[in-house]
Amino acid sequence: MSKINNRDVRCSFCGVSKNDAQMLIAGDGAHICDRCVTQAGEILAEELKQRKSKSLQTALKLVRPTEIKQHLDQYVIGQDDAKKVISVAVYNHYKRLNQKVDKDEIEIEKSNLIIVGETGTGKTLLAKTVAKILNVPFCIVDATVLTEAGYVGEDVESILTRLLQAADYDVAAAERGIIYIDEIDKIARKSDNPSITRDVSGEGVQQALLKILEGTNVNVPPQGGRKHPDQKMISVNTSNILFLCGGAFDGIQKKIANRLRTQTVGYKMKEEEQDVDLNNLYKYITPLDLKNFGLIPELIGRLPVLTYLNPLDKETLLSILTEPKNSLIKQYVKLFQYEDIELVFDKDVYDFIVDKAWEFKLGARGLRSICEAIMLDAMFELPTSKEEENATVLHITLDYAKQKFAKSDIKKLHVA
């Protein structure tokens, strides 16, 4: 067999000769030039991108607002207004992601959301519960650790690092995700006047959040920016990321009362304002109140949807204690089932727990602390004593609950 002349070797795809190509790669009876390799790589990348886009569209099964609210109702008691607002915001986010924008079509803007409510009313629980039903990456971050760039703490870009981790570093999926920023009130401006110096964890962080909330390309450190300074950055576009923000905004009731020309305690000033509910001033909150509290107008403008959570009364606390799918009582019953012990509560024990939680003014979080104080000795002793005494039922009476509560230090939490 005669040896093939190098001048006769050509690309098997485009036919270019070896002399006219920068590089010709040999295979099993075939050759390919550098230009065909580059073109094939571009075709492959585009095809993979389209397949990933189609798979994301398939995964984004629309969950209707009523279905989202029904899911929330299983875990969160009350707060119907906030549930409806969150359900609609998430549903519109899905529709926005499924939208195919043409030249003449109206582009739907994302509706970032801010939730205001007292501590222990369920802001974070709502966010966690929504995450269970979503088909998009979801993460919860805390605004209290954020600082201006160059200071000790986390940069604002670390928010997107958490979302990347939730999406398993799939950038395309992360760019369609949802982020819940908790404790947004902790980055409020420290004074009424605009800061002319550094406001390390206040106004400066709000300014840094603006570009992310609005939508831009951000270079994100995949492992955090401080500990790994030499890592390769990942570019993330935030235009399709939905932001939910929550905060207690402690003290904003006085600003709402001043705007309504009334008082948080005492008599109202005008007869026509008799319909003002002084026990729940949060329902009257407006963006102006957030501005007076310390959020800058630019940030408020990027959080156009505002909702509130109602304060919890005793009846609601009792429902929270017993009714939800993962209520505290059901959790304790499940824990004792692992020990083959049936846990039974008297109804007046529930009322005792609710009354003490109401005194502590900690919202739903106080319920867990009181239950732990009552159940601690039983959870400590029964795993051992049941083998000796063959115990199969633990009956919690009111006297037992009062006795265990009196022995604990939690009673010192009482707020006058």
Residues whose CB is less than 8 angstroms from the CB of residue 412 and which lie 6 or more positions away in sequence, other chains included: none
Alpha helices by DSSP H, listed for 34-146, are: 34-59, 65-73, 80-98, 123-131
What secondary structure letter does DSSP report for 103? T
Distance CA 368, CA 374 (A): 10
Angle of helix 347-360 versus helix 314-322 axis, rounded to 10 = 120
Distance CA 266, CA 263 (A): 6
| The residue type at 313 | D
CA–CA distances in Å: residue 32 to residues 20, 46, 386: 13, 20, 77
Q: Would the annotation count 139 as a binding residue? A: no
Residues whose CB is less than 8 angstroms from the CB of residue 228 and which lie 6 or more positions away in sequence, other chains included: 221
Alpha helices by DSSP H, listed for 193-346, are: 203-214, 252-259, 287-293, 297-301, 314-322, 328-337
> Under a CB-based contact definition with an 8 Å cutoff, are residues 218 and 157 in contact?
yes
Bridge partners, 246 (sequence order): 115
What secondary structure letter does DSSP report for 279? T
Distance CA 370, CA 227 (A): 40
Distance CA 345, CA 334 (A): 13
Q: Would the annotation count 245 as a binding residue? A: no
Distance CA 286, CA 259 (A): 10
Distance CA 344, CA 337 (A): 11
Alpha helices by DSSP H, listed for 132-202, are: 158-166, 171-174
End-to-end CA distance of the chain: 103
Distance CA 152, CA 91 (A): 38
| The residue type at 157 | E
Query: Radius of gyration (Cα) for the chain, nearest Å?
Result: 29
> Under a CB-based contact definition with an 8 Å cutoff, are residues 222 and 161 in contact?
yes
Q: Would the annotation count 371 as a binding residue? A: no
Q: Would the annotation count 36 as a binding residue? A: yes
Residues making up the annotated binding site for Zn(2+) are 11, 14, 33, 36
Please report, in range form, the residues annotated as the binding site.
Answer: 11, 14, 33, 36
